Amino acid sequence: MDSHVASLRSALGDDALVTDPAAMEPYRRDRALDPDAGVPLAVVLPETTAQVQAAIRWAAEHRVPVTPRGAGTGLSGGATAVHGGIVLSTERMRAIAVDPVTRMATVQPGLLNAEVKAAAAAHGLWYPPDPASFEICSIGGNAATNAGGLCCVKYGVTADYILGAEVVLADGRAVRVGGPRLKDVAGLSMLDLFVGSEGTLGVITELTLRLLPAPPPPRTVVAWFDDTEGAAAAVQQIASRIRPSMLEYMDRIAVNAVEDVLGAGLHRDAAALVVARSDDQHPDGAEIAVMLDALTAHGAREAFEAPDPEAGERFAHARRIAIPAVERLGPLLLEDVGVSLPRFGELVAGVEAIARDRDVTIAFIAHAGDGNTHPLVVCDPADPSRNERARLAYGEIMDLAIRLGGTITGEHGVGRLKRPWLAAQIGDDLLDISLRVKRALDPDGILNPGTIFAADDTAPTRRGQSA
Amino acid sequence: MDSHVASLRSALGDDALVTDPAAMEPYRRDRALDPDAGVPLAVVLPETTAQVQAAIRWAAEHRVPVTPRGAGTGLSGGATAVHGGIVLSTERMRAIAVDPVTRMATVQPGLLNAEVKAAAAAHGLWYPPDPASFEICSIGGNAATNAGGLCCVKYGVTADYILGAEVVLADGRAVRVGGPRLKDVAGLSMLDLFVGSEGTLGVITELTLRLLPAPPPPRTVVAWFDDTEGAAAAVQQIASRIRPSMLEYMDRIAVNAVEDVLGAGLHRDAAALVVARSDDQHPDGAEIAVMLDALTAHGAREAFEAPDPEAGERFAHARRIAIPAVERLGPLLLEDVGVSLPRFGELVAGVEAIARDRDVTIAFIAHAGDGNTHPLVVCDPADPSRNERARLAYGEIMDLAIRLGGTITGEHGVGRLKRPWLAAQIGDDLLDISLRVKRALDPDGILNPGTIFAADDTAPTRRGQSA
């Protein structure tokens, strides 16, 4: 092992390598806190594509697993270190160039999402994708998971803003896929294949992002419901008629957790809070009227437009901090299931039933407008029985989403935590051809083994057997 | 061969099979009119996914090439029949169901784009992608080529509206990829891989499409220029500042060809016509002002907002009929090259130089706002020398686009015509891994051989050698 690492060190330089166990510790897991994370041989901290290539070439030569890593804010265990592998963190790859003429940015993967937004805003431009973690998550991680956020309901997901990428392949070659072109259909859509592949097909070392002109100021609508069914029905009516720029949902548990933090006077007794936005500029405010009508028609106790942008932002902020607020109740198993809107009410009710049956606390928050939900299953490290019930509930929620024709993950990725449910959602045949693509691009199975695919299925021995 | 076809006939039923040479003739080519098109064994006209599966299973068993075909309006030779193969036309697969609640449509591939638009409009909804051929091209062909159109500059391309698909694989299995979910990152992005794969990875038998609420009425701006440089600069300024819903360009040759048809009083002496639209609803008409300012600042001879929707539509119509209008000058070699906007002027000038040097007529029309252009190289069947020069010009335009960092195809696809230029654009390494994906999904190379990839590279013998 030591001679292996020595050759890696000489290929990369001292500065780019961490082997001290204490210093490596923070690189072993993402926010899914996988208890089974391995101890890597080394953490690699490249600054350049050439260094990424050198690390991957070394790994390919020695058949050492590579765990690519952005900022480590992943929630599905997609950046869990493998014993004896290397962790490749892109945190030092932080260059960015914004071209206001073409409205594009060229960025290295280690920049935070918020830094990309800020660099764009400095030119009066806008990078829309906004995971709730946008201040701490990396743009490379966003691309690797095809991250979503609050604005997706109108403005789409990360993939919609990626025009091109430089990717280091499993054999160390670097390829450019796509580029600064708004329309390009030359060859297979390999760019889209790399986006969202969670580091299993290559390491993204540069991105070309599409930017938009600065968005018009939003108007915010807030509604409180005494029942979740009414809130779900109102959400569906809004989403079917207009394109809100945000359409969020929080249940009573989430509202109370946020109110514990903010003390802002949120209604602790309400069953659900809906926060919606419109950035439509039509002078008659038609979208606001559609939203208020739908909320009232479905029995909102209160439904009103925020009187000013600051008041509106306070409600959006309340939604954004829901996950850390609920986390104060205990460590979370964080769901990311999605359904089409007519099934949203059934999902809410089903999750309530699971919480009751398993006697666990599950807060329910959602990017409701696109049917992407985050039931937050609260664990208790001091109570093994409760933890086990929480784990079972976590699986049952995915089973439920699949039964409802939904997805186990709308924006976080499969990682390791959701991998056991993938085949049940997509089917054995689609998993089979996905595995064939994985093996075609990473025949030795060194890239992020255990993520999306079972490590056994991508290991070369197994591959040889089934080829 | 005959016993082969008999078994295919018994698998599909008499009605679904055409073997009469005269009846097969219209199925041998798309609008690229490939002179090297083969004579197929049979044309298959399935109505159901099961029939598609039966045909592909038969083809897989007998290692017979399959050419999937939509409405045959392709412009790159992506639906060129192979000698001794079968052509699989989806023209009879015409079911559609629109769900106004989720704003989605489930469609079979044979429906025309215009029929999808009409079915959506019947519910007050909108399917945006609008290839200029929308009245005669199929939705399945749109998906297979990831077709573009005039609205892409603001509303994106076909892929942006495909949420799910049913695909019949090279071995006859049918898989569902994606589905009625606005956000779904479960597993590799196989849906995006099938979209735009030009029938080389599978046959799309059903699509789940995202629809939008009906668009607000557009306002149209028109400008005439005495020089192409000014028009190019104005286009760039507009696209960098706002999001027009259309931003089109025509040169003098195209304008004159259209005026020959319409007799509408278009300025025959102008160097360029720019037609732009805004559907922004801001009451101050800010986008219209930005457009008029940019056009005037860059020397437009005339720049004005169309006085009413009908007048605006007349200019949009003039742009849409440009290809058939120019076609009256002679058969066309139809380019689809794209560049980023700062290179648009260089592309225009470069194409002019090629036309001069090769002494051929090249009309220049463009979806200018996204840098996607269609230089139309006019051939003359009666003049072999001119035809040969046209063919050389066609290649030189692609060479130029690649030199400018652009693409050989923005929305039509690689097909057979542009295949010789693909490696020069995307590079050998990206072509290599694309080929690996192709071989992983179609190991016997039966799906649309010769399209995107050279048939030799996808044939199983060659595959065995390089594996």
Determine contact, residues A438/A200, Cβ cutoff 8 Å: yes
CA distance A287 to chain B (A): 12
**Nearest residue to B250 via CA among B312, B326, B303, B301:** B326
pLDDT in tens, B53-90: 999 999 999 999 999 999 999 999 999 999 999 999 99
CB contact under 8 A, B187 and A433: no
Q: Which of B201, B236, B409 sits opposite A186 (nearest CB)?
A: B409
| A159 contacts in chain B (CB < 8 Å) | 189, 192
What pLDDT does A2 receive? Answer: 61
Per-residue pLDDT, averaged over A56-67, amounts to: 97
What pLDDT does B390 receive? Answer: 97
Q: Which of B189, B438, B452 sits opposite A195 (nearest CB)?
A: B189
Q: Give whole-number Cα distances, A219 to A289, A309, B85, B252, in Å.
A: 11, 7, 59, 46
Using 50, 70 and 90 to split pLDDT, how confident is the model at A463? very low
CB contact under 8 A, A338 and B181: yes
A467 pLDDT more than 80: no
- Residues ≥6 apart with Cβ < 8 Å to A211: A98, A103, A104, A105, A120, A123, A125, A126, A127, A161
B261 pLDDT more than 60: yes
B364 pLDDT more than 50: yes
What pLDDT does B466 receive? Answer: 41
Q: In the numeric block, which tokens belong to residue B420?
A: 């010789």
Distance between CA A408 and CA A425 in Å, rounded? 7
Using 50, 70 and 90 to split pLDDT, how confident is the model at B117? very high
CA distance B159 to chain A (A): 10
B460 pLDDT more than 90: no
CB contact under 8 A, B406 and A283: no
Closest residue on chain B to A166 (Cα) = B430
CB contact under 8 A, B190 and A431: no
What pLDDT does A366 receive? Answer: 98
Mean pLDDT computed over every residue of chain A: 95
Per-residue pLDDT, averaged over A245-255, amounts to: 98
What pLDDT does A281 receive? Answer: 79
B463 pLDDT more than 60: no
Q: What is the ipTM of this complex?
A: 0.96
CB contact under 8 A, A429 and B173: yes
Determine contact, residues A75/A32, Cβ cutoff 8 Å: yes
Residue B263, CB half-sphere, CA atoms under 13 Å: how many?
0
CB contact under 8 A, B342 and A102: yes
DSSP state, A336?
B
What pLDDT does B461 receive? Answer: 61
Looking at chain A, the whole-number percentage of residues with pLDDT higher than 70 is: 98
A274 pLDDT more than 50: yes
Looking at chain A, the whole-number percentage of residues with pLDDT higher than 90 is: 94
pLDDT in tens, A300-350: 999 999 999 999 999 999 999 999 999 999 999 999 999 999 999 999 999
**Nearest residue to A148 via CA among A336, A326, A317, A274:** A336
Distance between CA A464 and CA A21 in Å, rounded? 35
Determine contact, residues B305/B221, Cβ cutoff 8 Å: yes
Per-residue pLDDT, averaged over A414-430, amounts to: 98
Task: Point out which residues pair with B374 in neighbouring strands.
Answer: B365
What pLDDT does B2 receive? Answer: 62
Of the candidate ranges A167-181, A203-217, A267-281, B275-289, the one whose mean pLDDT is the lowest = B275-289
| B410 contacts in chain A (CB < 8 Å) | 181, 183-185
| B130 contacts in chain A (CB < 8 Å) | none
CB contact under 8 A, B414 and A186: yes
| A181 contacts in chain B (CB < 8 Å) | 338-340, 371, 406-407, 410
Determine contact, residues B107/B194, Cβ cutoff 8 Å: no
Looking at chain B, the whole-number percentage of residues with pLDDT higher than 90 is: 93
Chain-centre distance for alpha carbon B453: 18
What pLDDT does A4 receive? Answer: 79
Residue with tokens 């945190």, as numbered in its chain: A91
Task: Point out which residues pair with B417 in neighbouring strands.
Answer: none
Per-residue pLDDT, averaged over B181-201, amounts to: 97
CB contact under 8 A, A181 and B406: yes
pLDDT in tens, A75-114: 999 999 999 999 999 999 999 999 999 999 999 999 999 9
Per-residue pLDDT, averaged over B371-380, amounts to: 97
CB contact under 8 A, A405 and B195: no
CB contact under 8 A, B452 and A240: no
Task: Point out which residues pair with B303 in neighbouring strands.
Answer: B223
B285 pLDDT more than 90: no
Mean pLDDT computed over every residue of chain B: 95
Question: Which amino acid would we find at residue A114?
Answer: A
CB contact under 8 A, B182 and A153: yes
Residue with tokens 């600064």, as numbered in its chain: A180
Neighbours of A14 (CB within 10 A): 7
A1 pLDDT more than 80: no
Of the candidate ranges B48-52, B129-133, B458-462, the one whose mean pLDDT is the lowest = B458-462
CB-defined contacts A:B, below 8 A: 253
Q: Which of B188, B340, B425 sits opposite A186 (nearest CB)?
A: B425
What pLDDT does A154 receive? Answer: 96
Helix or strand or coil: residue A389?
Answer: helix
B140 pLDDT more than 80: yes
Using 50, 70 and 90 to split pLDDT, how confident is the model at B462? very low
Determine contact, residues A100/B240, Cβ cutoff 8 Å: yes
Per-residue pLDDT, averaged over A198-203, amounts to: 98
| B212 contacts in chain A (CB < 8 Å) | 243
Determine contact, residues A98/A210, Cβ cutoff 8 Å: no
A464 pLDDT more than 70: no
CA distance A311 to chain B (A): 23
**Buried (b) or exposed (e) across A153-165, using 16+ Cβ within 10 A?**
bbbbbbbbbbbbb
**Buried (b) or exposed (e) across A80-104, using 16+ Cβ within 10 A?**
bbbeebbbbbbbebbebebbeebbb
| B193 contacts in chain A (CB < 8 Å) | 188-189, 192-193, 437
The residue among A188, A212, A419 with the most chain B CBs within 10 A of its CB, best to mutate, is A188
Using 50, 70 and 90 to split pLDDT, how confident is the model at A461? low
Per-residue pLDDT, averaged over B260-264, amounts to: 96
Q: Which of A102, A433, A434 sits opposite B340 (nearest CB)?
A: A102
Q: Which of A160, A370, A440 sits opposite B437 (nearest CB)?
A: A440
pLDDT in tens, B440-456: 999 999 999 999 999 99
Query: Which residue has better confidence, A219 or A462?
Result: A219
Distance between CA A284 and CA A296 in Å, rounded? 19
Closest residue on chain A to B99 (Cα) = A240
Closest residue on chain B to A414 (Cα) = B186
